[in-house]
Structure 1
Amino acid sequence: MRIATLLVALSVALIGLSARADEVATAQAVIRAQEQAFVRDDASAAYSYAAPAIKEIFPAPEIFMSMVQNGYAPVYRHKSFEFGESKVEGSWIAQRVHIVDANGEAWEALYTLEQQADGSYKITGCTLLKAGQAV
């Protein structure tokens, strides 16, 4: 009986981990799609991955793109862009990204995403620090 209970508990835990892994994969796909839109200079596509609160601050794709170009150069143009640790908390996901910018300098980005009413994930923010800087 104990073994059956243990197997049920393990199965439930693995299903939860699998669902979380799917959520993280979905969030990473959103971040990657936006990153690729930046590479193509596709302001409309990049903007489409921003959460409603971001769109309130930057009410047009061109304004959003200008902000990224000026304030997030390592995100906009880089040599490498690799996913690190992630954390799922309810409808929120935090995703670290290791970036090497166009000049070869290392950066750490922390993206936050929130699940929307339609089930999609949108980017709610990105904090960018030079690698090795304290938060």
Structure 2
Amino acid sequence: MKPHSNWLFVRLARWLATAAWALALLAPVAPAHAGPFTVADEKSVRAVVEGQLGAFARDDASKAFSHAAPNVREAVGTAANFMAMVRNSYPAVYRPASVGFLKPEGRNDQVIQRVQMTDASGDSWPAIYSLERQKNKSWRITGCVVVENKGRMA
């Protein structure tokens, strides 16, 4: 591996660890215990994820990176590194053929947004986004876990 590739791999590993940590923190906010969000909060959370997906579709690294929370930006370093990581490690997120949003779940300033993605081959990819409300009241993505679903959408 080239030294630059090693550096990117370390950054990716840190980002994945951060995402796993963020999802572990959100475990107590399972649907049965979730507090209600306002309709405005639900729309804002969805808009952030849609905004990032739209930025990926346009190859707009800066805009995609702007939807990431500070913990993700620090772990990845630059918008270009972020875009490369998503392109190489999350192809279903980078170029989904279709997306379907479930109702966001959470409480206080943390939320999970589940998104059902389908890739160009028709394979289904459930994605679980964790988001956190920032001090300025905006929502930012703190992590995303994509799970391969062995089936296809009907």
The answer to whether the 8 Å contact 1:96/1:108 transfers is yes
2:138 is aligned with 1:120:
yes
2:39 is aligned with 1:21:
yes
**Separation in 1 of the partners of 2:39 and 2:114?**
15
**Separation in 1 of the partners of 2:55 and 2:138?**
18
State the one-letter code of the partner of 2:142.
Answer: T
Higher Rg: 1
Name structure 2 gaps, 5 residues minimum.
1-34
Which residue of 109, 120, 125 maps to 1:91?
109
Which residue of 95, 99, 118 maps to 1:77?
95
CA drift of 1:66 comes to 0.4
CA drift of 1:86 comes to 1.8
User: Partner of 2:56 in structure 1?
Assistant: 38
Give the TM-score normalised by structure 2: 0.72
State the one-letter code of the partner of 2:146.
Answer: L
CA drift of 1:20 comes to 2.3
User: Partner of 1:101 in structure 2?
Assistant: 119
Count of paired positions: 117
Matches within 5 A, 1:2-17: 17=36
State the one-letter code of the partner of 2:132.
Answer: E
Q: Could you tell me the percent identity over the aligned residues?
A: 38
CA drift of 1:132 comes to 5.8
**Separation in 2 of the partners of 1:71 and 1:91?**
28
- Between structures 1 and 2, the one with greater strand share: 1
- Counterpart secondary structure, 1:63: helix
Give the TM-score normalised by structure 1: 0.81
Runs of 4+ in 1 over 4 A off after TM superposition: none
